[in-house]
């Protein structure tokens, strides 16, 4: 079969699936099983097929637009980064198009669709999760992508995008170890999204490692799971207090949930930090102005923003190859933790 005559019908025939199914895979529709998608992508790779309506379109970038794709709209941590990025994009002479993604389904598919629809010059993705299943799709994209503050699994073919991350497990370990240094042993945790190598799981792993290395027993009823909202922090803290009234400290894997948890503690007539110490994660502005101000692990928001746009523009100008940067976090000791 000559390469010039190779088309979507050939892919369908070789893979054993219908033309419509192959088309849905090429266009990154979510309504295709992982097994089917894998088989079709394998054929596409084997025959070096370049889909007319996906990869080729991505190469014909004619706009001056840089896209900003944000996973979730409710996290003020991202809103502070967005403002800096927008200013930098404008200063560099580009236009910014922002899109918020609410679903947890198919992060890479959302990125590709956004690039294709808006014919983007480059893309910054705040908060997406990419894994090894995305390798084949990423290889078809010439548009530069910078993924900021996500969890990126090491097996991903990382020559196809740039990333700026933190060490989630190590930073969570530092937070819990600080509580232990203050004399706390009965330490609860409000976790989130406990699934294969997610940010929530990595931060929970840091909690567990700190307890283990200090010979403190890990108890399942000390572990509650929220969903990165004020409401879930409030709800799970109440469950924690109902199950374990002996706790002296709580680690929340986000400041948003830490504020919700603090509200639950205060509503029960307990005092922070006199009765219960609490520490969060992210370093959002709200945590500073809460009373008492909440101790937290501060992520370097300004560095995330500036490095994201610096790398993206250099990639657009073909000055550099893809970069992968790990930034340091900082423990902010405030009024919500005390020595016992």
Place of tokens 């073919």: 157
| Topology at the third CATH level for domain 61-166+301-328 | Rossmann fold (3.40.50)
Report pLDDT for 271.
97
Q: 168-299 domain in CATH 3.40.50.2300?
A: yes
pLDDT in tens, 18-69: 887 887 787 767 678 878 888 888 888 787 776 654 444 445 445 789 999 9
Mean pLDDT for 241-268 is 96
Report pLDDT for 290.
95
| pLDDT over 50 at 1, yes or no | no
Closest among 44, 83, 53 to 308, alpha carbons compared = 83
User: Domain map of the chain by residue range?
Assistant: 3-53, 61-166+301-328, 168-299
Specify which residues 277 forms β-bridges with. 249
User: What CATH number is given for 3-53 in this structure?
Assistant: 1.10.260.40
Helices (H), the chain: 8-15, 19-26, 34-46, 55-59, 76-91, 107-118, 135-138, 168-181, 199-213, 230-243, 255-267, 285-289, 301-316
pLDDT in tens, 110-153: 788 889 889 999 999 998 766 555 556 666 678 999 999 767 66
Q: Do domains 3-53 and 168-299 have the same CATH topology?
A: no
Report pLDDT for 159.
77
Mean pLDDT for 246-254 is 96
Q: Which residues are CB-neighbours of 52 under 8 A, at least 6 positions away?
A: none
Mean pLDDT for 8-13 is 86
pLDDT in tens, 163-213: 999 999 999 999 999 999 999 999 999 999 887 778 899 999 999 999 999
- What the block records as the tokens of 190 is 């409000």
């Amino acid at each position: 079969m000559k390469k010039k005559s190779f088309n979507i019908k050939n892919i369908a025939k070789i893979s054993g699936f219908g033309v419509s199914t192959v088309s849905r895979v090429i266009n990154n529709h979510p309504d295709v099983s992982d097994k089917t998608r894998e088989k079709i992508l394998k054929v596409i790779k084997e025959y070096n097929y370049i889909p007319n309506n996906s990869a080729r379109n991505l190469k014909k970038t004619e706009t001056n637009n840089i896209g900003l794709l944000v996973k979730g709209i409710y996290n003020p941590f991202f809103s502070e980064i967005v403002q800096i990025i927008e200013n930098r994009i404008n200063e560099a002479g580009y236009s910014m198009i922002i899109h918020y993604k609410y679903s947890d389904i198919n992060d890479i598919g959302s990125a590709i669709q956004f690039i294709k629809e808006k014919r983007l010059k480059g893309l910054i993705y705040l908060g997406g999760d990419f894994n090894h299943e995305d390798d084949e799709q990423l290889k078809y994209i010439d548009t530069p992508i910078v993924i900021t503050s996500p969890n990126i699994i090491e097996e991903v073919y990382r020559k196809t995008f740039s990333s700026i991350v933190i060490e989630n497990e190590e930073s969570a370990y530092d937070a819990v170890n600080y509580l232990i240094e203050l004399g706390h042993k009965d330490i609860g945790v409000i976790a989130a999204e406990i699934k294969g190598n997610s940010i929530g799981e990595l931060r929970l792993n840091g909690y567990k490692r700190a307890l283990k290395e200090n010979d403190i027993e890990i108890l399942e009823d000390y572990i509650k799971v929220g969903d990165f909202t004020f409401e879930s922090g409030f709800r799970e803290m109440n469950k924690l207090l109902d199950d374990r009234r002996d706790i002296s400290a709580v680690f929340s894997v986000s400041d948003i949930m830490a504020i919700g948890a603090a509200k639950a503690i205060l509503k029960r007539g307990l005092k922070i930090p006199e009765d219960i110490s609490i520490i969060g994660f992210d370093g959002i502005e709200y945590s500073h102005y809460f009373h008492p101000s909440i101790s937290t692990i501060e992520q370097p928001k300004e560095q995330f923003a500036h490095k994201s746009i610096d790398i993206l523009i250099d990639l657009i100008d073909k000055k550099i190859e893809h970069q992968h940067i790990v930034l340091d976090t900082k423990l902010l000791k405030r009024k919500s933790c005390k020595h016992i």
